[in-house]
Amino acid sequence: MYEPKPEHKFTFGLWTVGNQGRDPFGEPVRPAKSPVELVHLLAEVGAWGVNFHDNDLVPIDATPAQRDKIVADFKQALADTGIIVPMATTNLFTDPAFRDGAFTSNDSNVRAYALQKTMNAIDLGVELGAKIYVFWGGREGTETDAGKDPITAIKRSREAMNYLCEYVLDQGYDLKFALEAKPNEPRGDIYNATTGNMLAFIETLDHPDMVGVNPEVAHEHMAGLNFTHHVAQAMEAGKLFHIDLNDQAFGRYDQDFRFGSVNLKSAFFLVKLLEDNGYDGSRHFDAHAYRTSDFEDVKAFARGCMRTYLILKEKVAKFNADAEIQALLAEINADSGAMTPFTGPYSAEKAAALRSHAFDRAALGQRGQPYERLDQLVVELLLGVR
């Protein structure tokens, strides 16, 4: 019942199941696996797709001949397993060239190199079938505002996005961009720190229709925000092109834990939002196994992400079918229709009628809502006693 199927669109990045457990204080604990091995691992656990950064697949210093061999082997692994590539992205953060950012670097040579690297990576992603291209600007930020004008940084980001949109149009590629926000880490502060910032930024671009967002659970949680509300705003605006699912304790470093492993209740409301509103894109797990895991445990990690999603999806169906919960919701949302003549789209007549209507303000303030009862039912549902 909780077996992953292609229609669930579960995906993982090569960098997720391939994560070697390096952290700022410790060396890798797991051996590197090749992209081909990782595709087979994903097929074994039941994933639908694999995503990658250019350099997850092709090392930054590979020769053209090496590139061709790697890409051919990878294509063969995809063909052998039926795994597809729905999304690709660029690594604009690992190489020392990007120490002061990529598109927002103060060095115009770095900014131009970042564009060149991204065009090459877009070509690679499209060659392997990607329809979504993610931009995560991990190094696009500062430790001190002394060195970079934040308005200049916004303008440079816009110029880069406009350039790359035109590149995609010029090539005739069927590709959309998804911008991923993060408040900090690895920079002290990262520009366009939240999904809300990204949504506002997108509307200032030359081709806003080509650009949406890729929100990540951990990133809004690092900022102490309600992730579900941010995803809702993106969905309502038609901008949820992709999503990075994982988990994260509030106020901590970037943890990228297994989906649902920390904030089960938030994960439930997120799955409810996605499923109730017909989100049709990838469910991408941008997470990695604990540093204590070996490769068997990495598979348990990957299976756990998908299984928890499917269990929560079942809980959503239970919530929607639960008579007591639905009766409470009906009570909470009961509407006599008495205000309809005054509200909805504005007219001068409605405004005049509303002005002359006498409200019983004290009575309005006396109405309680049974949210405690409702929330307890949700908790019991999640705890498995309903």
* Site residues, ligand GLT (CB under 6 A): 15, 53, 89, 134, 136, 180, 216, 244, 286
The whole-angstrom separation of Cα 263 and Cα 29 is 27
Contacts 24+ apart (CB under 8 A), 148-156: 148/104, 148/106, 150/191, 153/101, 153/104, 153/191, 154/191, 154/192, 154/201, 156/103, 156/104, 156/111
By a kind-dependent CB cut-off of 5 to 8 A, residue 301 interacts, out of ligand GLT, Mn ion, none, with none
**What sign has the CA pseudo-torsion 206, 209, 210, 216?**
positive
Of 8, 40, 53, 357, which residue is the catalytic one?
53
| Residues 228-267 as x/- pattern, contact with Mn ion by CB under 5 A | ----------------x---------x-x-----------
Rounded to a whole number of angstroms, the minimum distance from the CB of residue 224 to ligand GLT is 18
By a kind-dependent CB cut-off of 5 to 8 A, residue 134 interacts, out of Mn ion, ligand GLT, none, with ligand GLT
Are the CB atoms for 75 and 85 separated by under 8 Å?
no
Residue number closest to ligand GLT, CB atom: 136
Judged by beta carbon, residue 98 or residue 319, the one nearer ligand GLT is 98
The whole-angstrom separation of Cα 56 and Cα 94 is 11
53 is catalytic: yes
Q: Which of 54, 100, 220, 286 binds Mn ion (CB under 5 A)?
A: 286
Rounded to a whole number of angstroms, the minimum distance from the CB of residue 15 to ligand GLT is 6
By a kind-dependent CB cut-off of 5 to 8 A, residue 15 interacts, out of Mn ion, ligand GLT, none, with ligand GLT
56 is catalytic: yes
Are the CB atoms for 7 and 282 separated by under 8 Å?
no
Judged by beta carbon, residue 88 or residue 316, the one nearer ligand GLT is 88
Strands 141-142, 132-136: pairing is: unpaired
Strands 141-142, 189-190: pairing is: antiparallel
Q: Which of 88, 218, 306, 310 binds Mn ion (CB under 5 A)?
A: 218
Judged by beta carbon, residue 218 or residue 240, the one nearer Mn ion is 218
Query: Which letter, b or e, does each residue of 314-349 get, where b requires 16 or more Cβ atoms within 10 Å of its Cβ?
Result: ebbeebeebeebeebeeeeeeeeeeeeebeeeeeee
Residues of this chain that bind Mn ion (CB under 5 A):
216, 218, 244, 254, 256, 286
Residues annotated catalytic, as ranges: 53, 56
